[in-house]
Amino acid sequence: MSSLHKKNKHLSIILSAIVFSMLILAFASVPLYRIFCQKTGYGGTPKIALDESKAITNHRLTIRFNADVHRDLPWRFKPLQQSVEVYAGENALAFYHFENVSNQPLVGIASYNVTPDKAAPYFNKIQCFCFEDQILGPKQGVDMPVMFYIDPKIVDDPDLKDVRTITLSYTFFSSKHPNINKILGLPPVSKNRE
């Protein structure tokens, strides 16, 4: 085997490894970005908590709930309560109702955010229906819970002294929408969702 042939074979292996690594990173970027947003509260994304809150303060907040549906998804979607009063650190439960008003089964996916954005790092969701495909049969409706708490450390943040109301907002989209990653604020992937 000639020296040139060995170099070409070595270069081919290196280039294949690089392409394979980039492909894996492209598929991993969506869940990694989602985890980053959930851990940091980036872009108004509430954090995902693994456990319920253990400490409650006497700092009272109003949590409002909002629900929207993208025009391409024939669903009704609404919070079952307009707002709740909670203390920072208090575990709370709210419900949303969504219903497929079409005559065919449909799959939707919800994005969410918190306003004001600066409160997002303190909004911890314990259980949620967001960022997961929700399948509804024709004319089927379902109530889904959102369990959350506001981190008691919100009391110590001087930038949030004026915040007394936080809004949790969800928007449902068809999971087959061609730009679903862009809509959800996620990095693009090379392959569309099936």
CATH number given to 40-183: 2.60.370.10
Domain ranges in the chain are: 40-183
SS3 18: helix
Ramachandran class of 127: left when φ > 0, alpha when ψ lies in -120 to 50, beta otherwise: beta
SS3 179: coil
Query: Residues 89-101: pLDDT tens digits?
Result: 999 999 999 999 9
pTM exceeds 0.95 for this model: no
Query: Residues 133-154: pLDDT tens digits?
Result: 899 999 999 999 999 999 999 9
Backbone φ, ψ for residue 11 (5° rounding): -65, -40
Token pair of 11, please? 């270069």
Query: Residues 165-192: pLDDT tens digits?
Result: 999 999 999 887 666 666 556 556 555 4
pLDDT at 40: 46
Token pair of 105, please? 């089964």
- pLDDT tier, 50 (very low <50, low <70, confident <90, very high otherwise): low
